Amino acid sequence: MTYRIDCLQYANWSEKIFRQMREGGVDAVHVTIAYHENFRETVLNIEAWNRWFEQFPDLIFQGRTGDDVRLARETGRTAIFFGFQNPSPIEDDIGLVEIVHTLGARFMQLSYNNQSLLATGCYEAEDPGLTRMGREVIEEMNRVGLVVDMSHSADRSTLEAIEHSTRPIAITHANPAQWAPARRNKSDAVIRALTESGGMIGFSLYPHHLKDKSACTLHSFCEMVARTAEKFGSSSLGIGSDLCQDHPDSVVDWMRMGRWTKRVDYGEGSAAAPGFPDMPDWFRDNRDFGNLETGLRTVGFDPEEVAGIMGENWLQFFDLSFGTVRKTQAHWAAE
């Protein structure tokens, strides 16, 4: 069986979901452990994960390197990699970049919809690009092996991050805007700059990022992947499902509004449909990764390309991205 890696989920974690990961043959998941949390709050979220690791050692363990994905496969478990959707966990302190990496963080978005201390989010009217601190933090992230993720960032900031980063970056969960116009989906210019620099994009299954939303068909989704591969090659493509499972709607309020506003903000939703959207029936949860694999074969990918998109492309990216420059990457050490 090919490796299966999901490069973004945010669930109301439970034994049920960890068992579904095993049923779906999912070797590794990048889990969001912070939306708007500050450092101390993020540490509390890590503590909660530590208790799950202690409680369910036969189902999950904390992933830190690409080899942990291989260990997960060998031992029949799922490796859990931590990530942040916002740089709020590092507050205004560049020293926290190394601290959170030591605690296991492997992806950090530079902005989440709004302006952050580092970069601009995709819902702002103006995007002045990377901030002074943003440039410093990207260099520190490059040094320690914390991946820059621009999923919720605006275009100029994203292009500047690709340019400024000396290591490939990621858009862990988004789709091409040409297929499904949405503020969160990405222009061809962004996807081109990303993939040409060795970066990765993870295709999202979150209905607001899909053509026809919850009614999107598996065929339409897989055709979109095929068209993207035609334009940009298949080696930079993966899955980042954005699966938000078993949460009450209060959680989507937290994701959208954090503590930055007192008003209701519907984000990608609307007053008529304010809650979490229904997932498409061919991707309800972790058990449905086989459907994606079948769908990709049907639209003409060969087995190697399917294996790449389902997990091996992310695995290769993990291998190159999570170590310090000095220790694991001879070609960077030359700098």
Q: How many residues does the chain have?
A: 335
43 scored as a contact of its own copies (CB under 8 A): yes
Question: In angstroms, what is the minimal distance from the CB of 138 to its own copies?
Answer: 17
Question: What is the torsion angle, in degrees rounded to the nearest 10, for the CA atoms of residue 151, residue 154, residue 157 and residue 158?
Answer: 40
Per-residue exposure over 89-112, b if at least 16 CB sit within 10 Å of its own CB, e if not = bbeeeeebbbebbebbbbbbbbbb
How do beta strands 105-109 and 78-84 pair?
A: parallel
CB-hemisphere CA count at 13 Å for 53? Answer: 13
Question: In angstroms, what is the minimal distance from the CB of 57 to its own copies?
Answer: 8
262 scored as a contact of its own copies (CB under 8 A): no
The stretch among 88-96, 210-218, 248-256, 294-302 that binds its own copies (CB under 8 A) is 88-96
In whole angstroms, give the CA distance from residue 51 to residue 57: 10
71 scored as a contact of its own copies (CB under 8 A): no
41 scored as a contact of its own copies (CB under 8 A): no
For its own copies, how many residues bind (rule: CB under 8 A)? 17
Nearer of residues 65 and 236 to its own copies, judged by Cβ? 65
**Hey, which bits of 35-159 come out as E strands?**
60-62, 78-84, 105-109, 147-149
User: Which of 41, 93, 302, 304 is the binder for its own copies (CB under 8 A)?
Assistant: 93
The stretch among 6-14, 100-108, 209-217, 301-309 that binds its own copies (CB under 8 A) is 100-108
55 scored as a contact of its own copies (CB under 8 A): no
User: Which of 74, 92, 95, 125 is the binder for its own copies (CB under 8 A)?
Assistant: 95
Nearer of residues 47 and 230 to its own copies, judged by Cβ? 47
Picking from 137, 107, 294, the residue whose alpha carbon sits closest to that of residue 219 is 294
φ/ψ of 270, rounded to 5, equals: -155, 170
- Residues forming the site for its own copies (CB under 8 A): 39-40, 43-44, 46-48, 50-51, 93, 95-96, 98-99, 102-104
